[in-house]
Structure 1
Amino acid sequence: MHTIQNTLYVMTPNAYAHIENTTVRIDVEREKKLQVPLHHLNGLVCFGNVMVSPALIHTLAKDGKSLVLLDQFGRFQARMEGPVSGNILLRQAQHRCANDESFTLECARSIVAGKLRNSRTNIQRGAREASSPEEAESLTRIVNNLAASLRAAAVVKTLDELRGVEGEAARGYFGGLNQIVKPQYREQFALNGRTRRPPLDKFNALISFLYAMLMNDCRSACEAVGLDPQLGFLHVVRPGRASLALDLQEEFRSIICDRLALTLINRNQISKSDFDEREGGAVVLNDKGRRTVITAWQEKKQEEVTHPLTEQKIPIGLLPFTQARFMARTIRGEMDCYLPFLSK
């Protein structure tokens, strides 16, 4: 169990979260492990097999506090809050835009451009700090390939073509991340391509966990401005999939999650002892590893950056909310096109 920034993270398998008077109590095998005043909390996040009492669920909903469920791999499963008072006119406009092929393509193109630009910036950083001239040259080739993908994305005529460009660029990008890991840590954190459901190596397990937390923030950002998180433009709409939150997430994956993963690895803040291997080859962060990553994640979100459009310093944790507002303004017709956040 871990309480960070007024959010209680329950990570212990078979823990039981319930109400006791005006507190949230966490028991493991009928023994009290933690007790927190309810008014100190903004939300509860549960990982894997954690039980939550009906009384606590109702109390959280009544008080406007969120309950988020993640699976054992840290992948988002569900988010529960009280009644949402979203802007119906904005959601009507969002549905009209989603049915407009031209708008959908241009919005998706901006999202992909943001993702590719920020991915390219990550690899450029790695090239400047490469441990050998050969690795610097290899990373520079990836930088050039990502630039070519950016040019290709600007001229594609269909969403399927755009997704193809994005997918090919992502494969090259993930290949480059291996070379940004310090040589002494590469063997234990080898990234064998992008694997999910489940991740099959430590690097994938780490970034999947970070992506799940970013996804939760992006979904919250969509809901906070009155957008429907289920109705996106780049990602295909499917039942149970928060497509717009996935869209919003794309520009932040490399500059928030991947950078943080590399920092944790290269500074030896996380090691092989923070992971468990499951039957079938799945690799997951264990309880100790999750606590380390969650603490680093919350610290990362407090770091300030200057937004290139507003020219104001804001915490990294507020970037999804800022971009969700830009998305809403684009949908309303107040901006000509969606402008992604671009990192330096």
Structure 2
Amino acid sequence: MKKLLNTVYVNTPDRYLSLDGENIVISQDGTEIGRVPLHNIERVMTFGHGGASPALMGKCARNGIDLVFMSRSGHFIARVEGEVRGNVLLRRQQYRFADNEERSLDIAKNIISAKLFNSRWVIERMIRDHGARIDTELFGQRSRFLQNSVSQARNCTDMESLRGIEGEAASVYFSVFNDMILQQKDDFSFKVRNKRPPLDNVNALLSFAYSLASGMCASALESAGLDPYVGFMHTDRPGRRSLALDLVEEFRSVLCDRFVLTLINKRLVSSGDFMKREDGAVLLTEEGRKSFFSAWQKRLNEELKHPFIEEKVEWGMLPYVQAMLLARYIRGDLDCYPPFMWK
């Protein structure tokens, strides 16, 4: 089993990254301010426009270390990529699956069924853990709706109907998201999901978490030999990592949403960790991103028992496990793709 190694987050926009032997050197205005050994690093994520040296980019590409450039708001810009390591026979089979409506629908139904199942159990956990502080009858109604949506998704006969079921279920799920925010209600309230750009503190956190999780899924798919740009539910679009967007659906509620709620309810972030631009976009400040990354890395290191492989894995390894299971299905080693279903 692949092991979860460290991720280096370079949060300050004007930091420049270079290579010295087997170390990443972090500089500001030409002055070295830190260095990190490469031997136990699997990913470097830099936020802003400081840049990196060609020598470091080449070293990361050769060693299979992700070097990812993100905007300050957490949107993916680019990733250094070396020689493609994917098995050509596996990728050719993936493309055949993607061109086959029935095959694509089978995979998409499993992914969306898991997404709705996981969303339901986020609600059920709220009823169990915080029943005295929420409207349990309302939450119970939403849970039953999502349970029914899981059955509908599994029995769906076309992709458009599946998208409709997923969209309606997401609306029902988010209708009680504000009720899951139990602390700091004056500064953190949720009315509707908005993005590109996020317009409030809660949506800024959600978008940031989703971007990080999508990047993890893209890296995991490549590690498994799959093409992250060719999906089954999300259609092909130049520059869009469609399969990564498919895979991340399984993790949105159980990894990202629950993490955001933890940040707010445990007061790990506050209103001072956000700034508002002239266009209305709300972004995390530099200090806000530091708090986010610290808690995010701790969450990724937590363990759970995977329901299919029945082994303990870190949360941060889940995209890799699912990517490997998807590759096994596409190769014909499994009868169907087993999505991640949390309870």
TM-score (normalizing by structure 1)? 0.93
Given residue 33 of structure 2, which amino acid in structure 1 is its aligned partner?
K
Tell whether 2:294 aligns with 1:302.
no
SS at match of 1:129: helix
1:323 is aligned to 322
SS at match of 2:9: strand
Please give the alpha-carbon distance, in whole angstroms, between the structure 1 residues aligned to 2:131 and 2:6. Answer: 41
Please give the alpha-carbon distance, in whole angstroms, between the structure 2 residues aligned to 1:194 and 1:102. Answer: 31
Please give the alpha-carbon distance, in whole angstroms, between the structure 1 residues aligned to 2:34 and 2:316. Answer: 27
Tell whether 2:222 aligns with 1:205.
no
Tell whether 2:335 aligns with 1:336.
yes
Question: Which sections of structure 2, spanning at least 5 residues, go unmatched?
Answer: none
CA displacement at 1:41 relative to structure 2 = 3.7
CA displacement at 1:180 relative to structure 2 = 0.9
Given residue 233 of structure 2, which amino acid in structure 1 is its aligned partner?
L
Contact 1:65 1:82 in 2 (8 A): no
Question: Which sections of structure 1, spanning at least 5 residues, go unmatched?
Answer: none
Given residue 216 of structure 2, which amino acid in structure 1 is its aligned partner?
D
Please give the alpha-carbon distance, in whole angstroms, between the structure 1 residues aligned to 2:16 and 2:309. Answer: 44
State the number of aligned residues: 340
Please give the alpha-carbon distance, in whole angstroms, between the structure 2 residues aligned to 1:58 and 1:119. Answer: 41
Please give the alpha-carbon distance, in whole angstroms, between the structure 2 residues aligned to 1:63 and 1:123. Answer: 42
CA deviation string 1:14-57 (max 9, x = no partner) = 22222345533222233432233444543321112222222322
Contact 2:228 2:243 in 1 (8 A): yes
What is the RMSD of the two structures over their aligned residues, measured on CA atoms? Answer: 1.9
Please give the alpha-carbon distance, in whole angstroms, between the structure 2 residues aligned to 1:23 and 1:311. Answer: 37
Contact 2:107 2:337 in 1 (8 A): yes
Contact 2:120 2:143 in 1 (8 A): yes
Given residue 324 of structure 2, which amino acid in structure 1 is its aligned partner?
R
**C-alpha distance 43-133 of structure 1, shift in aligned 2 (>3 A):** closer
Please give the alpha-carbon distance, in whole angstroms, between the structure 1 residues aligned to 2:39 and 2:308. Answer: 36
TM-score (normalizing by structure 2)? 0.93
Please give the alpha-carbon distance, in whole angstroms, between the structure 2 residues aligned to 1:160 and 1:229. Answer: 22
Please give the alpha-carbon distance, in whole angstroms, between the structure 1 residues aligned to 2:89 and 2:66. Answer: 25
1:187 is aligned to 186
2:143 is aligned to 143
Please give the alpha-carbon distance, in whole angstroms, between the structure 1 residues aligned to 2:251 and 2:192. Answer: 19
1:85 is aligned to 85
Contact 1:118 1:342 in 2 (8 A): yes
Please give the alpha-carbon distance, in whole angstroms, between the structure 2 residues aligned to 1:41 and 1:155. Answer: 43
1:226 is aligned to 225
Given residue 157 of structure 2, which amino acid in structure 1 is its aligned partner?
K
1:10 is aligned to 10
SS at match of 2:283: strand
Please give the alpha-carbon distance, in whole angstroms, between the structure 2 residues aligned to 1:96 and 1:287. Answer: 44
**C-alpha distance 186-133 of structure 1, shift in aligned 2 (>3 A):** closer
SS at match of 1:164: helix
**C-alpha distance 43-132 of structure 1, shift in aligned 2 (>3 A):** closer
SS at match of 1:27: strand
SS at match of 1:7: strand
Runs of 4+ deviating beyond 6 Å: none
1:168 is aligned to 168
